[in-house]
A = this chain, B = another copy of it.
Amino acid sequence: MKIYGKRIEKAQALMREQGMIGIMVMTRDDYQYFFGETRVQPRAIIPAFGEPVFICFKAEEDEIRSALGDTEVKFFGHVGQQMFSVTKTFKTLIERANHEPGFSPDVKLKVGMQMWFQTPAFLVDLFRKLNPQVELVPSDPVMDELRMVKDPEEIEKIRQAQKIAALGMDRLKELLEPGKTGHELATEITYTMMKAGAFGTSTPIHINSGIRSCWIHGKADHEEIKDGDLVVVDLTPKFQGYCANLARTFVVGEPEPQQLKLIETYFEINKATREALIPGVTVGRLDRIGRGICTEKGLKEYHLNGISHGIGLRFEETPASTILPNHRTIKIKEDMVMTIGHTILAIPGYGGVRFEDVYLVTPDGGEILVDYPLDYEF
C-alpha cells in the first residue's frame, strides 16, 4: 500500500471548488489511484478536509492496521454495518462542513461517486436512500482533472501493458489459420499474456471473423475462421491495474479490393489522427479528420465517430465520447494517454476493420507507446 498524498490533496482542493464534502471510493481504479493497491470491492471515503477513512472487512483488520498505522479504519462484519459506517462518516462530514470555508448552509452538500461501468446501479440507489441529506453527483469533475493527465509511472505501466498485448498479438499471428476458432486462439493468447504478467483483460478478447467483423463489440467463441475472412482482433490485457488496447485486422488468404480499400482508408485515418493528437485538440475534431478521409474515399456513410478515447486505470476513461457524447468537446492535454482506432469502419453485410494503438499526447502529435507493425498480413 502506498498513500498518494499529493493526489489526495489535489482531489480535496477540487472537491471544495465543486462543493463536495467527500468522494465515496468504491471502484478498484480510484482506490488504486489514491492508495496504490488493487482491492476487490474496496470502500473508502476521501473527505474534502482531513484524512481518508477506510471501511474494511473485520477479519482483515490486523493486516490493514499494519499497512495504515493509526489512520481511521471502520471495520464491518456484514453489509449492514458497512452501510452504517458510510452513513455515519458522512454525517460527521456534514457537521464539519458547517465550519469549513466554501460550504454554505443554504446549498445542499454534495458527495462525489464514480458512476462508470464499475459502479453497480443498486449501490448508487442505496446510497441515495440512506444518505438523503446529501446530493450524490458524479465525481468526474474532480477525478477527470486528476486522472486525465498521466505521470511517468503511469505511462510506463500502460506501456508495459501494451507490450504484453503485443506478445499476445504475435502469438495470434503464429496460430491464425482457417479452421481455428476464436476461442481456441483466445485460449492461447490469454496464456501467453498471463505468462508475461497480465492480470486478466479489461474486455473479453475479441476475435470477430467474417461477417462478425462488422460488430461494434466482440467475443471469441466457437465460430471457425474461414479463408477470405477479415479477422478483427482486440487485446486488452491489464498490468498492475493499467490497461492496454491493441487491435489489428487480418485478411485470411488473398485480400479482395474492397477489403484493401477499407484497410488502407483506416491506415490513412490512423496516420492523420496521430499527427493531429496535440494539446488543445478535441476528440470531436479528431473524428472530423476521419470523416473527411472517408468522404474522399466514398466511404462517408460508413464513418462513425469515436476514433479516440482515454486509457489508464480504466479501459475507457475521459474523454470517452462513445460512452458520454459531451466528451467530444474536451480539450486534449499534454501527457494524456489516448488510443486511436476505437471505431469499426464497416460495410454492413460485408465486413469491417479496426487498427488501434495507444499514444502519449505531445506537442508534436501522438507518440506511440509500443510501435507494433501496422499490417493486415500475418
Contacts and interface: CB of A to CB of B under 8 A. Distances in A.
Nearest to A77: B304
Given A115-B120, A119-B121, A200-B204, A216 B60 contact: yes
Interface string A290-332: 0000000000001011100000000000000011110000000
Contacts of A63: 211-212, 214, 349
A49 to B, nearest CB: 26
A59 interface: yes
Question: How many monomers of this chain does the complex have?
Answer: 2
Interface in A344-367: 344, 346-349, 352
Contacts of A220: 199
**Which of A115, A121, A304 has the most CB atoms of chain B within a 10 A radius of its CB?**
A121
Which range contains the number of A residues in contact with the other chain?
A: 35 or more
Contacts of A323: 79, 122
Interface in A66-107: 77-80
Interface string A202-244: 0110000001101111111100000000000000000000000
Contacts of A78: 304-306, 322, 325
Contacts of A38: 219, 221
Interface in A100-150: 113, 115-125, 138
Given A62-B349, A325-B80, A57 B191 contact: no
B115 A138 contact: no
B116 A79 contact: no
A150 B357 CA distance: 44
A62 B123 CA distance: 38
Interface in A156-199: 183, 186-187, 190-191, 194-195, 197, 199
Nearest to A61: B348
A19 B7 CA distance: 48
Given A77-B304, A119-B120, 4 more contacts: A40-B204, A61-B349, A63-B349, A186-B194
Interface of A: 38-41, 57-63, 77-80, 113, 115-125, 138, 183, 186-187, 190-191, 194-195, 197, 199-200, 203-204, 211-212, 214-221, 302, 304-306, 322-325, 344, 346-349, 352
